[in-house]
Every structure is written in structure tokens, then in C-alpha cells.
Amino acid sequence: MKRVALPILLLLLVGCIGTPSPPAGQCSGPTVSIATFNIQVFGQAKMGDPEAVDSLVGIATRFDIVAIQEVRDASETTVPRFVSEINSRNHSYAYVISERLGSTSSKEQYAFVYNTETISFENFSYLVNDTVFERPPFVAKFRAGEFDFFLVNTHVKPEKGRTASEIKALAGAVTEDEDYIILGDFNADCSYLDEKTLSSLLPGLDIIVSNEDDTTVGASDCTYDRIAITPRTREDYSSYGVYLFDKELGLDSTQAKSVSDHYPVYAEFYISCDTD
């Protein structure tokens, strides 16, 4: 069983776990929160569940930008509907979305949903051109204050052997002297990967989600969801956490599972430290 980093009382109060403060020597000031969230089969059925949608809106609007995996909807209306629902509640969010991806009939899209008051999309996005991926990662460039950065949204195939190959290929999807943040469902634990090998698969990158964190809802104890940053991004990094939405929103196990079987993982970055 993995250890929880914070006392249980504090965990129940804040609904998240992670590192609460930045490493010594980094700057201070305002930050933006960047999250990743596998919204388990996010499609029309889930958008038709008002309670699940209420929870998802509450989760998404806690962050400045959310990288979403597992959008499954042949009509491609789920994300536009979701953002419209967010904005109907006095928010100002927008989205960037990939094409439908995958070699099987169960295709998925990646999406970024972001707060337009704090984040701007730099009108630049692309898919990683590497055939090793079942679903090529989706990359988009954003800016918050002086901090401009690329987000690499990935959903690694959950298959022993294949998982390690896809994670290893992620290292080649970034330029280490630029601000790249790889985030998503890496499936980097339990039956798919020995998590102790993760750092060796991503040489030169900082993995800022601990192997001790549980990013799954329910009885499982797996650190599937990860965030990794390039060396250039270290000066901007502040802290990270796992957002335990069931505890924060007061959901029972059935209600939580209707939202997702994953917790969002997030990191905060300073927006006035960037020197590139």
C-alpha cells in the first residue's frame, strides 16, 4: 500500500495531496494551475448525467487549464457542450481539441479546456509524428503572463510492454531547452509498468508526481496519471497535487465513479519567472 504524504486530517480538509511548497531558490508570485484529467469515456452519455456534469464543471473550473483524455464521441459534440455548460455558469472558458485518434473503432480525442481570463492559446498545435503511439500525443502552445509553454497531452496504451515503449517515445516529443510539460494518463504503474523504471524511460525530464500518490478512484492504488517537465521549465515550477474530487465535493463511491475512475493531477507554475 502506498503512503499518503500528508496527515489524514489535512487530506480531508483540502481534498488534495502533493507538494505544498516550491523547491528552495525559485521565485514567488502569481501562478497558474495546469491539470490533467482522464474523464473515463467522456461522451454523450456522461453529458446526459446532470450530477456528473455538475461535478465535472466544478472540477474543471478549479484549474486554469485542463488536459482531458478519453473523449469518446463520434459526433464530436461532447467538449463543445461541456464548455458551453461551464460558460453558462458565469465562467469564460474555451477549448482546443484534436482529431479522433486510434487504430481501433474505439477512437478518442484529446482536449484542452482553459480559462480565457488567465490563459491564451498561441494558435499552434500538432500531433506527435511517431508511429509507436496508439494515440499520438496532442501538443498545443499556451501563454500565461510571461510564461509561454507547450503542453503534450497523452493517453499511453495500457498494455504490458507497449506502455514502456510509448512512455520512452515521449522523451523524444519535447525539446529540453524549451518549456514543455508532458501530462496525461501514462498508465505508469500496477500491471502495465514497473513504476521504478519510469525515470529511466524519461531521461532528462523531471517527473513531478510521486510514485507514492494514488491517482485512481476506488480500491485500486496506482499512479497512472503523471506530469513531466523539461529542464527549462524548472524555474517556473511551484508545486503539484492530486485533486481528490470525491472528498472535496462530498461524493459517495457511486457518484464518484460516475464522474471518472481517475483523479485529476495538477501542477502550479509561476507566470513571471520565465527567462526564455
Find where cell 475512475 sits.
261
Here the cell at position 206 is 523531471
The greatest distance separating any two alpha carbons of the chain, rounded to the nearest whole angstrom, comes to 49
Find where cell 453558462 sits.
88
Angle formed by the axes of helices 50-60 and 78-87, nearest 10°: 70
197 contacts: CB under 8 Å, gap ≥ 6: 164
Here the cell at position 64 is 486554469
231 contacts: CB under 8 Å, gap ≥ 6: 176, 177, 204, 205, 206
Helix, strand or coil for residue 257? helix
103, 134 Cβ separation under 8 angstroms? yes
19 contacts: CB under 8 Å, gap ≥ 6: 5, 208, 239, 240, 241
Helix, strand or coil for residue 104? coil
Active site residues: 108, 155
Distance CA 180, CA 140 (A): 10
